[in-house]
Amino acid sequence: MQVAEKERKRLAARFEKISGIAGGIVALLSFLVVLGWYVDIEPFKHPFGTSVSFGVALVYFVFGTIVALDAFAPNSKALSIGKLIVVGLLSVMAAAKCVEGVVGTDWDFLSINLSFNSERMVPLVYPGVMTPDTALVQALVGITYLLMDFLQKARVQIWQWLAVTVIALCMIPVFGFILGDTNLCSLWGCVRMPVAFAITSIGLEFAMLAARPERGFTSALIEPDLLGTAMRQSLFSAMILLPLFAEAKAVFVHFGIFDEGLAKSGLGIAFMFVFLGTVMYQFVFAYKSEQNMRRNTEQRLQDLSSQFSQSQAENTFGFGGKAWRIAKCAKCEKEFESNTKLCPYDDRPLDIHDALIGQVLEGKYKVLDFLGRGGMSTVYKVEHLLLSKTLAIKFLQLQFVSKGESVLRFQREGKAMARLQHPNLCTVTECSIIEGVPYLIMEFLQGVSLDEILKEEKRLSARRTVEIMLQVADGLQHAHDENIVHRDIKPSNIMMTPLDDGGEFAKVVDFGLARIMDSDDQKLSQTGEAFGSPLYMSPEQCLGNPIDARTDIYGLGCVIYECISGNVPFRGKTFMETFNLHINGELKPFAKGLDVPPGLSQLVERMLAKDPIDRPSSMTEVKEALTSVLQTWQKVSS
């Protein structure tokens, strides 16, 4: 699992706890108001210097308690249903009270006496007296909670927008109180809700937003980058400063420390100065922290680079740092890179000279043959002399040995593959460094890649494709279970080995995205914000957004589509055009002549959905769908 994804999960868990704390604070404040009305304690009845009615405080005590329970108490189905029923009833009562105020009537059935004392001069009534704006906000707070529960999987988180709307509405009387302007007109002539009610409403809506930060626009708050850090800290500062300044003004005016006029101007200016200064400080602090982290990372990479460069300069397999595989012209005897085909001076085919073949490395690995070269690695066939076993050795190419970042990526691949033990995944048995050059020892795979098969056969039958992809999906599910995302699923990373019974065995190779772009071929991986192979990259990869296992599902969908149709689903003339097609392009359905079952066609469409939410949730779901298609064929054939 990526570090960024772990950090997002940690921040989401932290927000959930903060949600419970905020709900608990609202419940406590509301309880004190309710207690003040029952035992007649005046300061409790007037938080922030404004009176809060018994009915309003009672409802928010219930709301705050429910939000706190969501965060800290074990949840059961019965408890969840009970909470929804309670919130629903209280919201309906508040909405009815709002209608009562708008039409100017007095409905007696909306008054429930909770005094428990018939001799009390002022009965404690629920919902009691409320202005229409107070009743409306209370109803909207309850509706926000209900929508948050019912629309958890909705693409558009409507409840979040409703919460922000309520917060904006409640900000009006809070700012008016702090700045000394109590006539901020907005609704039914002016917003008349008590400032204490407005602050607790803001607190409740904030608690609900913090309870579900993974989806919708609040997901920006759990990003571990500079902007996310600054937004989090600014939001927490605002939630502390608002009630602090409101209470400060109430105390100063009540005890005569400042008169109303001085409090109006002085506290208003002080609030704006402190608030803006705090926000600016948070952004500067986040920027400096990220810069320090970047400098530390660069220093670490530079140290690694120096270490490997020094080792390489001393000796690289005894060749003084020279490339061990070269192309040489027999006529002019000039040497070129091994991938050069013709001599540029006399147009003659070049001979390959590989000084590694025949060498014994680490006293046990005898190099037998050259297998291939990728973007940043070279693979040889070797024999383990002590075990008499054929293996493959993968070297980081010499031009990348001095680059610390490339070394770290190569080592990350080794660590990822070493954790995976599955018949459909290529396994790594050793990861080390020989004379300054990192290498991996892997199992030797006999066969050809799926990419080579497609080049020769153009396309595969739907049934053969399903049989191959079931194996690939099984291997990838194991990787996902180990919190490893391949990120570069494509035909060239699927090796096919023929079996004695005529079948085929598939293995997924090249974990860790150990390739960088070194040509204009769109099938090569590239460095930058968007990692992957453009023809098979998911929309979130193209945008450089966070990824998860569903990225591999999209890549596998591209491979299935190519196997059956003979063409990749999206191909542009340039990288950027290909990216745009992945993000916005419309998928062409399979041609009717390909005889693709409806179940398989629908599965591929889901796997290639633009939004990860619309794709199958896991490779297990993909395997189940492929198995269902295969079983249908088997029933028909039997």
What is the C-alpha separation between 143 and 87, in angstroms, rounded? 8
How many CB atoms sit inside 10 A of residue 17's CB?
A: 13
**Nearest-angstrom CA–CA distance, 369 and 548:** 37
Going through 74-186 in order, the beta strands assigned E by DSSP cover: 112-113, 125-126
In this structure, are residues 393 and 380 in contact, taking their beta carbons and an 8 Å threshold?
yes
Catalytic annotation, pick one of 70, 451, 488, 510? 488
Three-state SS string across 538-584, please?
CHHHHCCCCCCHHHHHHHHHHHHHHHHHCCCCCCCCCHHHHHHHHHH
Among residues 634, 593, 588, the alpha carbon closest in space to that of 467 is found at 634
Residue 480 CA to its chain's centroid (Å): 15
DSSP state of 338: T
Q: Which residue has the tokens 């096919």?
A: 496
Measured torsion, CA atoms of residues 498, 501, 503, 505, in degrees rounded to the nearest 10: -50
- Burial group, residue 146, by CB count within 10 angstroms (0-12, 13-18, 19+): middle
Which residue is listed with tokens 């070279």? 378
Which amino acid would we find at residue 530? A
Cβ contact 554:538 at 8 Å: yes
* DSSP 8-state secondary structure symbol assigned to residue 589: P
| Closest by CA position to 579, among listed 613, 531, 546, 520 | 531
**Collapsing DSSP states into helix, strand and coil, what is residue 151?**
coil
In whole angstroms, how large is the CA radius of gyration of the chain?
A: 33
Question: Annotated catalytic, 488?
Answer: yes
What distances in angstroms separate CA 45 from CA 199, 231, 419, 587, one per listed residue?
15, 34, 62, 63
Residue 293 makes CB contacts below 8 A (sequence gap 6+) with none
CA–CA separation, 454 and 456 (whole Å): 5
Distances (CA, A) of 124 to 44, 194, 274: 15, 18, 40
The amino acid occupying position 129 is: V
Q: How far apart are CA 67 and CA 142, in angstroms?
A: 11
Amino acid found at 253: V
Helix (H) or strand (E) holding 222: none
Would you state the torsion angle of the CA atoms of residues 300, 301, 302, 305, taken in this order, to the nearest 10 degrees?
A: 130
Query: What contacts 420, CB < 8 A, 6 or more positions away?
Result: 427, 478, 479, 482, 484, 511
Query: Crossing angle, helix 77-103 and helix 54-72, to 10 degrees?
Result: 150
Supply φ then ψ for residue 363, to 5 degrees: 75, 5
What six digits make up the tokens of 320?
């003084």
Q: Residue 354 corresponds to which amino acid? A: D
Strand-pair category, 360-361 with 365-373: antiparallel
Nearest to 88 by CA among 158, 160, 144, 151: 144
Return d(Cα 263, Cα 518) in angstroms, integer. Answer: 67
Catalytic machinery residues: 488
